[in-house]
Copies of this chain bind each other. A is one copy, B any other.
Amino acid sequence: MKDKLKIGLLGLGTVGSGVPTILKEHQEKIAQVTGMEIVIAKALVRDEDEKKRQAEKFDIQLTTDIDEIINDDEIKIIVELIGKVEPARTFITKALENGKHIVTANKDLLAQHGSELVALAQKNHCDLYYEASVAGGIPILRTIANSLAADNIQKVLGIVNGTTNYMLTQMVTAKKSYEQALKEAQELGFAESNPTNDVDGIDAAYKMVILSQFAFGMNISLDQVDTHGIRGLSLDDVEMAAHLGYEVKLIGSSEYNNGSIAVEVGPMLVAKTHPIASVRNEFNAVFLESSGVGESMYYGPGAGAKPTATSVVSDLITIAKNIRLGTTGHMFNSYSHDTEITEDKNINGKYYFSIEVPDKHGQILRLTQIMTEADVSFEQLVQQKSDGTRARIVAITHTITKEQMKRVASEIKKADGFKLLTIFKVLEDK
């Protein structure tokens, strides 16, 4: 008989019930690598009756009272899968104060209160792992913390929101409109009925905050991420991008530049030959540029009950090993660095501008004048067919600073008859 390691589970929803499933399916292998049998002893639910069948199936005791789990001395680890900030933050805080190790998939919480919880875990010599909080089934945090500890990361590009990547893939490959693609994502259960967090890039921004902590050791706040979503993205831009050799992707990027980082989330034009351009549908991928390894990419499912539960269980195994070796209480990510945000004048990039103009002569000249005054030149310029009164000009610039981009944008907005439709960053394949 192996020793039993008892777990308290907060939340028995889709991912929550995946955890006992994975533990049961891989019982033998887990016992072999940890020397212990990991069992879910109790689960916190809102309604005991509703979850009765699952509880019986996995022999889990249900409770609606968090204290019954937090004050149970036999429970060593708590897995939090209820999501959002409250009451998760209060529960985890209490649990850490009671010396429980924590596994969570809660990106909202980690992105906003990560440092506070990490410090509390340290103080109480507890483990706090959250691999599943970024890119579900992809072990990207552990890879950065362990395998790239000997490397200097320069850039992290992530497709870290499966819902929007699914929508964009449908828009690109099946020429569906934004509205159609969203409706379909909702029908398939990828998008919630209120899709704000996904389509406005907030979910991706949470993940970029966590990735930036691991890649650069910097603690940034959500408002330091320049966040744009895909809400209302026009099929025109998607088709124009394809025509110019790019795919539109919602990219989270975190880039190191001389002691500071720039973190952005937004629709970007990705060259079709770039490895991240071929990531389709609900899949996620994180692409890294580092001085040692060079280019690497980690690809897999970004969400889903089984991948997320698998990731949670891999954290449980890590803690189980630490308990057995007496090495708990070390930080998941021990790399830290002063936090500095790059100024716009030091952020470089190529940008795609889409502008609606009056359908008469001289518009390209006017645009060129605006650009020239900001010392910006074009790499590609396309004037599209018009409806007789309005036309559309699309321009991709050479590499400029973000400050220049903003200056041009502001001048275009002021220009009589010009309407700035979109600005996307452009990512080339090296």
Q: Write the residues of chain A forming the contact surface with B, with a CB cutoff of 8 angstroms.
A: 22-23, 25-26, 29-30, 32-33, 131, 137-139, 142-143, 146-152, 275, 278, 283, 290-301, 304, 306-307, 309-311, 313-314, 316-318, 325, 327, 330, 334-336
Verify A335–B301 contact, CB threshold 8 A: no
Q: Which of B26, B146, B307, B335 is within 8 Å of A29, CB to CB?
A: B335
A344–B334 alpha-carbon span in the complex (Å): 49
Verify B310–A292 contact, CB threshold 8 A: yes
Tell me how far the C-beta of A352 lies from the nearest C-beta in chain B, rounded to whole angstroms. 23
Verify B150–A143 contact, CB threshold 8 A: no
Verify A307–B327 contact, CB threshold 8 A: no
Verify A294–B299 contact, CB threshold 8 A: no
Q: Which 4 A-B pairs have the closest CB atoms?
A: A292-B310, A139-B147, A296-B300, A150-B313
For A306, the closest partner residue in chain B by CB is: B292
Q: Which of B278, B292, B314 is within 8 Å of A137, CB to CB?
A: B292
Tell me how far the C-beta of A312 lies from the nearest C-beta in chain B, rounded to whole angstroms. 8
Verify A300–B292 contact, CB threshold 8 A: no
Give every chain B residue within 8 A of A292 (Cβ-Cβ): 22, 25-26, 137, 306-307, 309-310, 313
Tell me how far the C-beta of A338 lies from the nearest C-beta in chain B, rounded to whole angstroms. 12
Q: Which of B33, B275, B294, B325 is within 8 Å of A325, CB to CB?
A: B325
Tell me how far the C-beta of A37 lies from the nearest C-beta in chain B, rounded to whole angstroms. 14
Verify B291–A295 contact, CB threshold 8 A: no
Verify B149–A29 contact, CB threshold 8 A: yes
Q: Which of B32, B294, B310, B327 is within 8 Å of A304, CB to CB?
A: B294
Give every chain B residue within 8 A of A138 (Cβ-Cβ): 296
Most buried by B among A149, A150, A314: A150
Whether A334 touches B32, Cβ cut-off 8 Å, given contacts A26-B152, A137-B294, A299-B275, is: yes
Tell me how far the C-beta of A252 lies from the nearest C-beta in chain B, rounded to whole angstroms. 18
A296–B314 alpha-carbon span in the complex (Å): 15
